Amino acid sequence: MKASRVMTKNVTCITPDVGLERAWALMKRLSVRHLPVVFSGRLVGILSDRDLLLRALPVEGGALSFPPLAVGEAMTAHPVSCQASAAVSRLAALMLEHRIDSIPIVTTRDELVGLVTSSDLLELLTAPETESEPLPFTFELKTFDARAAA
């Protein structure tokens, strides 16, 4: 299965000049953990909730406050990405190898076309199987009488 079949296509993006406080509010409002960062139509980074939480300052009442930094200063620049034709198994291997939870899907010119998250991959495991895989071997069941006659 290819990335194009499991990726989210309508991805909310952010630009590098947006403040961290605004990025956090957007993540909370949309219930997302990753925001691809684009500039001039090209992927330049990704901002995760972990990137933000590393910079968060706790305030009274359990709320968070952020220093006056732009997304470009907190994002992961040049994130691991793949093209839409990449195999889902490749995406999973990259996530494990780099200890990340999302992979932007881009064109050959780094234009964002989608996003695959670890949640997307886990959903594949919960979907009912529609096709059974053929066994890698064939067998014929013989009864005791059939074996004795042979």
Query: Is residue 140 in some structural domain?
Result: no
Element (H, E) at 43: strand 42-48
User: Is 144 part of a structural domain of the chain?
Assistant: no
Number of domains in the chain: 1
Does residue 6 contact residue 120 with C-beta atoms inside 8 Å? yes
- Residue 16: predicted pLDDT: 97
> What CATH number does residue 80 fall under?
3.10.580.10
Residue 139 has a pLDDT of: 57
Helix (DSSP H) and strand (DSSP E) numbers for the chain: 7, 7
- What is the dihedral sign for C-alpha 114, 119, 124, 128? negative
- Is residue 142 pLDDT above 90, yes or no? no
Tokens for 68, please give them: 């006056």
Q: Which pLDDT score is estimated for 136?
A: 57
Give the pLDDT band (50/70/90) at residue 97.
Answer: very high
Residue 150 lies in a domain: no
Evaluate whether residue 94 is within a structural domain.
yes
On the question of pLDDT at 1 being above 80, the answer is: yes
| 66: nearest Cα among 106, 99, 25, 96 | 25
Farthest-apart Cα atoms in the chain, separation: 86
Helices 88-98/118-126 angle, 10° precision:
130
Residue 102 contacts residue 34 (beta carbons within 8 Å): yes
pLDDT of residue 96: 94
Residue 147 pLDDT greater than 80, yes or no: no
pLDDT tens-digit series, residues 44-94: 999 999 999 999 887 777 788 889 999 999 999 999 999 999 999 999 999
**143 assigned to some structural domain:** no
Whether 48 is covered by a domain: the verdict is yes
What's the domain range around 98?
A: 3-127
Task: List pLDDT tens digits, range 114-140.
Answer: 999 999 988 888 876 655 555 555 656
pLDDT tens-digit readout, 9-58: 999 999 999 999 999 999 999 999 999 999 998 999 999 999 999 998 87
